Structure 1
Amino acid sequence: MPLIETRALNKRFGGLHVTNNVDLALEAGEVHCLIGPNGAGKSTLFRLILGEHSPSSGAILFAGEDITALKPFQRIRRGMSVKFQVPGIFKALSVRQNLEIAMQHHYPPASLAEEIDKLLAFLNLSADAKRLAGNLSHGQKQWLEIGMAISLKPRLLLLDEPTAGMSPEETFATGEMVQRLNAEGMTVLAVEHDMAFVRQVAHKVTVLHLGRVFAQGSIDEIVANEEVAAIYLGQTTAHETAHEAAGDVHA
């Protein structure tokens, strides 16, 4: 049984068909990356899974349960957690205080400080525990929000462009974090543009194009797919420039 599954999922905004009969399934313990040109429907599908958007038709199942009508907080209680592209941290509080807020209802008071220390070490933020979160570098802010998301110990972690704006070194470090989480049993679905990150972490890759599942397979299968390359190089999507697409494919 897949941990998360979408069945013939559709989303229309007025006359615009943004998500078009999407069938997607993630097995427990899988790292799955969702890629595609701008306007492919990645973010909409992500928000449908999280419950921020309601589908026009179709179904979403989590561990076999139909969650299509559930609100986001109800899905989170069942074992989902999310890190959005723009960090939603508390900038006026310290790094430790941010994690304390996220973790305080999920750990006994006697072990909370120790668990925060463990998470700080995992995030490479131990030396920055007392710094105001707003003073962190962009990459560190992303790591802090990843920490807040995984502090819930979710069964499914949703990552929306987790490496956006990061240096190559920060991107690689983020990939190592995802690999360690996955080794501990966490299932991950990531919307991502950076193909170096995708190659580093993904067990399976799904390519969206014009709201549809265009291709699916291993990263090697996707990179070797000439039709996928054509999409990214603008041969089938006139609004994509070759420069932007090359940056997505070869980053």
Structure 2
Amino acid sequence: MALLETRGLNKRFGGLQVTSDVDLALEAGELHCLIGPNGAGKSTLFRLILGEFPPTSGAVFYDGQDVTRLQPHERIRRGISVKFQVPGIFASLSVAQNLEIALQHHLAGHGLRGEVRRLLGFLNLAGAAAEPAGNLSHGQKQWLEIGMAVSLKPKLLLLDEPTAGMSPEETRATGEMVRALNRDGVTVLAVEHDMAFVRQVATRVTVLHFGRIFAQGSIDAIVADERVAEIYLGRGHGERGAPQPAGGEAKRG
């Protein structure tokens, strides 16, 4: 049984069809990346899964239960956590205090302090624990919010462009964090443009185009698909690391 499944998921905004009959399934323990050109409907699908948008039709199942009508906070209580593209940190508080706030409903005393230390080390932020979070670099802010998201001990972690604005070194470090979380049993769905990151982490890749599932498979199959290269080249010149066709195959992102 899939941990997450969407069935015939549709979303219209007025006369605009943004997602069309999306059937997507994630097995428990999977690390799945959702890619596609700008305007493909990736962010809308993400928000349908989280519950921020109600679907026009179709259903969302999580852990065997229909959660289509549940609010985001109800889905979070069931084990879904999310990290959005723009970090939602408390800029004036220290890095450690941000993590304490995320953990305070689950831990206290020595347990809380120990988990904060563990997360600081995992996030490569131990040296910045006392610094105001607003002073962190862009990449460090992204890492801090990943830490805040995983403090909830989710079964399913949703990542919305986790490497946006990062350097190649930060991107690789983020990939290692995500892989480590996955090894610890967290199922991950990441919306991403950076194909280097997708290559590094993905168990399986889904390509969305005009709100529909366009292709799905391993990263090697996706980057070798000339149709995928064509939609990126034709509609995604600004995509970071978009697949580039060369003799029927895709070069590295």
Amino acid at match of 1:117: R
After the TM superposition, which of the residue ranges 14-23 and 103-112 deviates more from structure 2?
103-112
Structure 2: tracts of 5 or more residues without a match: 244-251
Equivalent position amino acid for 1:87 in 2: P
> 2:52 — aligned with what?
52
Task: State the Cα distance separating 1:109 from its structure 2 match.
Answer: 2.6
Please tell me whether residue 75 in structure 1 is matched to residue 81 in structure 2. no
SS of alignment partner, residue 119 of structure 1:
helix
Matches within 5 A, 1:13-52: 13-52=13-52
CA 1:137–1:56: 2 relative to 1, 3 Å:
same
CA contact (8 A) 1:232 1:246 kept: no
**Shift, 1:106, TM fit:** 1.1
Identity of aligned residues (%): 73
- Does 1:248 find its partner at 2:242? yes
Instruction: Report how far residue 246 of structure 1 moved.
Output: 7.0
Instruction: Report 1:14-163 matches (<5 A).
Output: 14-163=14-163
SS of residue paired to 2:34: strand
Q: Following the alignment from structure 1 to structure 2, what is the Cα–Cα distance between the partners of residues 245 and 125? A: 29
Deviation of 1:107 (Å) = 1.6
Please, which moves more after superposition, 101-110 or 78-87? 101-110
Tell me the residue number matched to 1:237.
none
CA RMSD of aligned residues (A): 1.0
Match of 1:194, as an amino acid? D
How much does 1:97 deviate? 0.3
In structure 2, the residue corresponding to 1:105 is in which secondary structure? coil
C-alpha distance in 2 between matches for 1:130 and 1:182: 28
TM-score, normalised via structure 2 length: 0.95
Shift of 1:247: 4.0
Unpaired runs of 5+ in structure 1? 235-239
CA change 1:162–1:113 in 2 (3 A) is same
TM-score (structure 1 length as normaliser): 0.96
Aligned residues: 245
Q: Do structure 1's residue 3 and structure 2's residue 34 form an aligned pair?
A: no
Following TM superposition, the consecutive aligned residue runs of length 4 or more in structure 1 with deviations greater than 3 angstroms are none
8 Å CA contact 2:193, 2:240 repeated in 1:
no
